[in-house]
Amino acid sequence: MNPHVLILGAPGAGKGTQSDRIVEEFGVEHVTTGDALRGNKQMDISHLGLEYDTPGEYMDQGELVPDAVVNEIVEKALSDADGYVLDGYPRNLDQAEHLSDITDLDAVVYLDVDEDVLVDRLTGRRVCEECGATYHVDFNPPEEEGVCDVCGGDLYQREDDTEETARERIRVYEENTAPVVEFYDDEGSLVRIDGEQTPDEVWEDVKAAIESQA
């Protein structure tokens, strides 16, 4: 069983945690837009007739990579994968429609979490300056406050984990991705899962959703 799974949810909903479990359980690849872009920076996109001939040139200039480029990269990543969980794409309706043209999804899982809970999760994250290990002040605290268990480095709060930034990230996500959720809901393929449960409880629901549809 090599299911094609799409996981949707706002920042802080737990997509990364559940994606890791899907990979482990079903032996599929975790395809994220960021990883796919980084892995294909030198891909030849000259045939698209855009400003640059490789995705890397957009990234080096700090510019937003156009949908047409992201679509091509995701298509390549999915065609190379023997089963996958797709995370971070589609981000808008055009991308969702393109995805329907290039692959068949077995399960579309949406982790539903209230905004205040998302903010608590995002603002509680702490990252090690030395090794990048991630903690959470409530859900996954280090043994010693402010100190990494792995390497002893100092833990800090990333700029994009402040409350103001967290709420803005969620607002942008909702604005862009609400139509995507609606698209799959109208299609009848969306499975809403209560993302406020414990990670283990969420996983049981995610696994059941995939097994019932794949």
Active site residues: 15, 91, 125, 158, 169
The Cα–Cα gap between 209 and 199 comes to: 15
The Cα–Cα gap between 68 and 61 comes to: 18
What is the greatest pairwise CA distance in the chain? 54
Of 24, 19, 150, 30, nearest in space to 81 by CA = 30
The Cα–Cα gap between 31 and 12 comes to: 18
Distance of CA 123 to the CA centre of its chain: 18
By CB atoms closer than 10 A (0-12, 13-18, 19+), residue 49 is exposed
What amino acid is encoded at 186 in this protein?
Answer: D
Burial 3-41 (b: 16+ CB within 10 A, else e): bbbbbbbbbbbbbeebbebbbeebebbbbbbeebbeebe
As given in the structure block, the two tokens for residue 63 are 């510019």
